[in-house]
Chain A
Amino acid sequence: MAVVGIILLPFIFQDPFYLLMLQSLAYLSIAALGLDILVGWTGQISLGHMAFYAVGAYTTALLTTRGGFSFWITLPLAMLLSGGIGAIVALPCLRTKGHYLAVVTLAFGFVVEVAANRWMDLTNGPMGIFGINPPQFPSGEFFAPPHYFYLVAFFLLLAQLAANHLLTGRYGRTFLALQQSEVAAETVGVNVYKYKVLAFIICSVYGGLAGVFFAHQSPPGYINSDTFVFSLSIFFLASILMGGSRTLYGPLVGTVILNTIPQVFASLYDYHLMIYGLIILGTVILLPRGIVGSLIHLPYFKKRRKPAADKPGNVQMLRFMRREEADGQPIIETRGLLKDFGGLRAIDHLSVQIEPGKIHALIGPNGSGKSTLVNVLTGVYKSSGGDILYRGKRLRKMTPHEMAKLGITRTFQTVNLFQGLTVLDNVMVGFHLHLKAGFWSHLLRTRKAVQEEEAYRQRALDLLRFLGIQDKAYEEAQNLSYGHQRLVEIARALAVEPSLLLLDEPAAGVNPAEVHLLSKVIQDIRDAGVTVLVIEHHMELVMQISDRITVLDFGSKIAEGDPASVRQNKKVIEAYLGDPEILATL
């Protein structure tokens, strides 16, 4: 339907001025689309998107006018160059958090602005580059404006389709997940850094592509540095916000609106900044989700989205869990482990061995170092000394996602779900390491990608069914009760198919009935072959399910053994002295 509309447009708007406008709308939308992938979906701020638009434009302008290259060669070249520069900017920047990327992109944008304006030898500054011809047909004939519009619109279609494919599948899900909780994404195996860089590169390629089409618009066949200013970067951001960030068609809608409204007020040129400012301000305040974003949330549209079918698989769900090869070695072992926070020693020469296929509990008073140990074991904190051995091999300092690749994952003391995603999507992110269909498969939406998504979607439902919460699959995670959120977090961790699962106070904030379910779930997980390390305060649960218990106090081990021996241990009782509730359960 859209294609028909596009084909008809040049016939409706035959005036050359309108054709020029339509072309602009098309390529500016491409730029906005790319920017939203970065800003809306991964949540990174770029204040210098204009720079890539400029790179694309100048690359093709210079190569065609001075180098004599054909448009059809400069187009891919410009895209490659934009992507390459995007990588150069992103690779060092995205390692850190905070305002960093925003300022670097801001500064980079200004560098490009100054270069465009002042580097006369290259860009000819405000005098610009003349004689940029439109693309040519194989016959040698130049593209006339209506043909050019079809060309740009065609690429817009491709760009939009590619974005849709990526964003509605695995990549969109992963981008959103890392925006909501980088730590949680890392612990289920997502290489957050890599995905952020990828998003930035996609953004810059789209920007460059748009710039190419801008340069070859004919008339005028001319570009100069006046276009490439900071406000252009802001303009792109405003288009996204106006249309609706984090939606598929928001950037397109926003671009169209933000470009056509000023035309209405063209006679009021003196007031154009003010009008522009008022429009943006109004949208940001009154329509924060943007136009498309607000429409999607209207009840009428919400009702029309039906969840897909559920075909229950084999209910013995843990059939696909790894089984431990019993080789006598502890699955994980610490030797003389140390962790200091400034002057505070949280873990003090701790040596612990976790036997495979068992439930090992870690207990101790508050501040004894239990959660710190979990964080160190999963790579969230780096140790300050000592060794960690995984199946007998020393681990060098690893990031959480590398730990996940080894088969170690965790849940968090306070539930750390991807709150804005559905329960199902939360679990799907857990499958990250197992999904084989890569970037290009998803971009092109190959059958392999589609089938894999479908297969894992079903697996996710099976996992949820095992935990008894499959009916909540399509709810947003943040709407669930705390106890249910806990279960979702466990499901997500199980999706990783870990050999070692660390549960950080799974019973915290959970009511007695749910604790009972939890106890059963943890034992089922152990029976399927997963080693479980549980940090807990809930003594009943610990005594009930544990095969082995280690007791910590002030960062070191004060007792270890089976439940019976630990509950009678004098040192343990002393450590908990002053805590009559705990004593009563021992």
Chain B
Amino acid sequence: MLTKLWQALISGMAIGSIYALIAQGFYITSITTNTLNFGQGDFLMIGALFGLTCYLAFGGPSMLSFVIATVLAVGLLAVMGAGLERIAVRPVRGLTSLSWVLSTLSVALILRNAAQLIWRPEQHPFPSPLGSKVLRIAGAGILPQEIFILAVSISVMILLMVFLRRSLLGKALLAVAHNSNAAAAMGINVQRMVIFAYVLSSVLAGLGGVLIAPITFAYAYMGTVLGVKAFAAAIVGGLENPLGILIGGLIMGVVEQIAAGINSNLKDGITFALIILILALRPTGLLGKR
């Protein structure tokens, strides 16, 4: 029983850290533009599939090819992020609150269809660079990839938080978030910051994709529910707070694994029902402002 719980904790935190990673992207774009990429999950999917293609092309599985694949995937996603901002976000800024939801979602649909055509709908195995030998830690079976995911995503998120607070570029981003007019008056190119926000957000999604693919396989439909869960995790944690998002994501991942243990059939239902409950008690999220 305890080992099962322990297992759920580690696996849950691993997937949860990916939710958090994706959701950090939501945070960055939502504070700067009050919009977010509802197709973030599908961006992750492209990262996973494209990453897989590069990975295999460079002779994977090996750490070197994984790193190269990651760099290339992240690069592609950066370009896609800028493209998304230009096509689906900028033209609809200032219109009804629904427009950007639908525009980013429709881009996601297009991506999904493209992915289906290019990579076919099957699930593609993504061999972990760390091998598939299960580690036994305190009785629980843990894949090295899961630990890898946890380590990388948490490090990236900490780096992100430091970057936003300490670096000049990060502060400029936050400045735009708080008051874009004042930021512009101080000489910050707001438009460029907005593009940067979307680039950063997409990069995070792409990174999440190559990290999680060895666990979940890479396939055209992997993004849909992931994106929604990440969004929910962000709200549960508190959308204005990167730390809250991190915690929200981890909690969500763990809850999901525990729910799977209770009834693997209804696990998603349990998770979402819990989200509703948490929001009923704390509408601004666990770490959000009251």
Contact = CB atoms under 8 A, between A and B. Distances in A.
B102 A111 contact: no
Interface residues of B, number: 41
Contacts of A280: 102-103, 105-106, 109
Given A107-B272, A241-B98, A281-B102, 17 more contacts: A104-B276, A110-B268, A114-B266, A118-B269, A230-B224, A234-B102, A238-B106, A241-B99, A245-B98, A272-B113, A273-B109, A273-B113, A277-B106, A277-B107, A277-B109, A281-B110, A284-B103
13 contacts: A93-B280, A95-B283, A99-B239, A100-B235, A103-B231, A103-B232, A107-B273, A111-B272, A119-B266, A274-B110, A280-B105, A280-B109, A281-B103
Interface string A223-264: 000000010001001100100010000000000000000000
A481 B24 CA distance: 43
A230 B266 contact: no
Contacts of B268: 110, 114
B110 A278 contact: yes
Interface in B102-142: 102-103, 105-110, 112-114, 116-117
- Majority secondary structure of chain B interface residues (helix, strand, loop or mixed): helix
Nearest to A125: B265
A199 interface: no
B272 A274 contact: no
- Majority secondary structure of chain A interface residues (helix, strand, loop or mixed): helix
B92 interface: yes
B220 to A, nearest CB: 10
Contacts of A107: 232, 272-273, 275-276, 279
B106 A106 contact: no
Interface in A102-131: 103-104, 106-108, 110-111, 114-115, 118-119
A343 interface: no
Contact of A271 (B113, B235, B273, B276): B113
Interface string B38-81: 00000000000000000000000000000000000000000000
A43 interface: yes
A276 interface: yes
B173 to A, nearest CB: 21
Which 9 A-B pairs rank lowest in CB-CB distance, beginning with the nearest? A277-B109, A114-B269, A274-B113, A273-B113, A280-B106, A277-B110, A277-B106, A281-B106, A96-B283
Contact of B266 (A93, A96, A118): A118
B95 interface: yes
Contact of A92 (B110, B265, B280): B280
A111 B270 CA distance: 8
Contacts of B87: 281, 285
B103 A285 contact: yes
Nearest to B115: A273
A435 B182 CA distance: 45
B134 to A, nearest CB: 29
Contacts of B239: 99
B283 A278 contact: no
B110 A237 contact: no
A274 B92 contact: no
A408 interface: no
B83 interface: no
B117 A270 contact: yes
A98 interface: yes
Interface string B254-278: 0000000000011011001101100
Nearest to B109: A277
Contacts of A270: 113, 116-117
A114 B272 contact: yes
